[in-house]
Each structure stands twice: as C-alpha cells, then as structure tokens.
Amino acid sequence: MPTKKKTPPSRKKKVAAPPEKKLQNQKKLQKKSLKAAKKDLPAPPKSGEAKLLRSEVVYQGPLFRVTKDRILEPSGKESSRDVVRHNGSVIILAVDSSKSKRDPWIVMERQYRHAAGRFLWELPAGKLELGEDPLTGAQRELEEETGYRAKKWKPLVEYFASPGFLGETMKVYLAEGLVSGDAHPEDDEDIELRLIKLSDILKQIEKGAIMDGKTLSCVLLYARLKGKKG
C-alpha cells in the first residue's frame, strides 16, 4: 500500500532587528549596568565637604602626623590623599608705634631653618598645643621668643599654609602696646631679635630678601589696611 511522504514543517526565517533597535537595546543594557555599579559605591557627600571613607596614620612625630586618607570628593569621585595633620599655628605681628604711628617698628626674628637651608627673617610664630586657645598660644609664643608682652590684641586674619597636602591653619594676631621683658626660647631655638621699621621691611620684600611666606602675607596685609586708614 502506497505511503505518503511527510513534508517537513516549514521554518520561519528570523528577521534581523534594524540597527536603530540594536542601538536602543545596547543603551538599555548600559543603563542597567551603570545602575548596578552605582549601588556598590558609597553615596556622594551632600555638603561641599569630602566624605572620609578610611584613614591610616603612616607617621607620628612630635610636631605633626601624616595620614593616608581614602575620600569621596564633593564631585562624587573617589581618591586617595596623603595629608600632614597639625594642631595649627599662631603668628604675632607685634607693633611698636610709640615713636611713629605712620611708620611703626615691627618685631622681627632671624633664625636658621633647616628645611629651607638658610637663615630667614620672620615674624614671631609658634605651634599650638592640642586644644589650646589661639590667643593664649599667641601670648605665650610672643613672650617666650621675644620677651615682649602686649596690652592690646586683635585677630588679623587666618589662612591655610599649604592646603594641597597640609591641614595646618595659621591664625594671625596684631599685638600693640608692647612691654619689654626677658625672652626664654626653647633649647633648640637660636633667635636673633630686632625691631625694624615697617617701611624698611617693605623695601626688603620688594628686593626679595624676605622669603618667609607668613611674614610676606601678614606684613603686606597690615601695610594695606594701614594705608586704607590713612
């Protein structure tokens, strides 16, 4: 008895998706992967400050310590920073205007700075103890290094010394009504003390003879403010 041949079922040909649809699908996959990756990242800081993720002290000395910090910056970018941590310093612009208010005398110090490899002319300054009141620290440093005490104290300005890697702030005080006394510097301090006219210091700055940053900024600011007052 004759048998009929079975014909194989017809297969539908798959139609390739148009290039536009392929591109849309790729974008959807990329968005999904980005969302999944963002879930694993810490939330960006809400304020203008960076978020500290972790910190390790890699050096601890008597004057400062160095930390290796992993932070989340305000932009949301994660990065590593090596930072010198310091209690902060005070600078004293001690002014004697008893002989001339127009061109007062400024208390200046000359001492050798090993890091700079030279002697520098500077304003009196010093490191604050942990938790120490800045004004108390300024009064202490002025008397220790120069022997002078002042009847009148006024905050002048505060700034960061080198914020790229150094957390130290420097607070400047204007000290007036000077009373002389005996200095008692620390054992490792060898200081030459002089009173120099403001006009002479400005001349030395113009010549490039004053290379200490705190002295440059403080004297120039004081001279500008004094010029405004007339």
Would you state the pLDDT for residue 48? 73
CB atoms within 10 A of CB 102: 9
CA dist 94 → 52, 90, 166, 181, 229 (Å): 39, 12, 26, 14, 19
Q: Which of 49, 144, 158, 189 is catalytic?
A: 189
Residue 66 pLDDT more than 80? yes
For 98, counting Cβ atoms within 10 Å of its Cβ (0-12 exposed, 13-18 middle, 19+ buried), the class is exposed
CA atoms within 13 A on the CB side of 181: 14
Task: Report the candidate in 207, 206, 223, 198 with the shortest Cα–Cα distance to residue 107.
Answer: 198
Torsion angle in degrees (nearest 10) through CA of 127, 59, 168, 121: 60
Lowest pLDDT segment from 72-86, 94-108, 189-203, 216-230: 216-230
Active site residue 189: yes
Q: Domains of the chain by range and CATH?
A: 44-85 (no CATH), 89-229 (3.90.79.10)
| 170, 88 contact by CB (below 8 A) | yes
Over residues 64-81, the mean pLDDT reads 94
Over residues 15-29, the mean pLDDT reads 62
Lowest pLDDT segment from 1-5, 63-67, 180-184: 1-5
Residue 42 pLDDT more than 50? yes
Predicted TM-score (pTM) of this structure: 0.77
